[in-house]
Amino acid sequence: MEGAARIGRVEHAGHGISYQVAGDGPAVVLVKPHRQPRVYELVPLLSDRYTVIQIEPLGFGASDRPSDHPEDGVSEQVLTVLARERVDRFIVWGYSAGGAMALAVARASSRVTAVVAGGWSPGGGPSATRVRRLEREGRTPAASLAFWRWYARFDWLDELAAMPLPRLVYVGSDDGPRVRGPRGVPRTRPALVERGVTVMEFSGLDHQTCNAEPALSRQVVPSVIDWLDDGARS
């Protein structure tokens, strides 16, 4: 499947963004702030019915690593890629930190038809205090720090409530404290549901196995596709 993907590169603010396109059909954008694997295992599982566009924002993967990053730049970068690919409306999907970035894109663009955030608690994420600590420590990559600095400005439960589109959050039942802690998905489920967010919890999966085979093809992807087919996809 990796060989079947079309590799693209587009310039944004003078820097190159790497992305890959596979499949045909309605567009699904996968936000990928990770170097490995080179192609998400999600791509071949979705590309038989969707045009899957895997995007590595600046500072991640094969994209350029500028020294300065605009704090709200992930959404702009995604839209730059989609302009090159002539994509109008799209589903945005991310996992772990990519889930947080998917929420950022959904907040920024009315062209998003549905948002899927896996392995991520919208109630969690680094607080402003934690971000200041990361700044002092100086070990967090510039791209991640810029994004978390921006992300920490918002109450994402309120932001989800304001999004006029289908929203899905999913996690494994054995995920770690970032997803299952005081601001994690199990604790915030009532607040999420009250705001119209669909919550899925996959039994026996942790943070790694929930985003890898065989769970993706057996449990996660079929469940998300069923959710999309039940009305989330426009």
Percent of the chain with pLDDT over 90: 78
Residue ranges in the chain modelled with pLDDT below 70: 1-3, 71-72, 232-234
Residue 166: what are its φ and ψ, rounded to 5°?
-65, 135
Task: Report the predicted TM-score, pTM, of the whole model to 2 decimal places.
Answer: 0.94
> Which helix (DSSP H) or strand (DSSP E) does residue 31 occupy?
strand 27-31
CA distance 122 to 103: 8
Contact 177, 130 (CB under 8 A): no
CATH of domain 2-232: 3.40.50.1820
Query: In sequence order, what are the residues at sequence separation of 6 or more whose Cβ sits closer than 8 angstroms to the Cβ of residue 41?
Result: 211, 212, 213, 216
Rounded to 5°, angle at Cα 88 from 86 and 90? 115
Q: Which pLDDT does position 76 carry in this prediction? A: 95
Q: Could you give the CA distance from residue 133 to residue 144 in angstroms, rounded to a whole number?
A: 14
Q: How far apart are CA 228 and CA 234, in angstroms?
A: 9
Task: State the Cα–Cα distance between residues 20 and 55, nearest whole angstrom.
Answer: 7
pLDDT attached to residue 178: 80
Per-residue pLDDT at 99: 97
Per-residue pLDDT, 189 = 95
β-pair partners for 201: 171
Estimate to the nearest angstrom the gap between the alpha carbon of 164 and the chain centroid: 18
Domain boundaries along the sequence of the chain: 2-232
How far is the C-alpha of 222 from the C-alpha of 38, rounded, in Å? 23
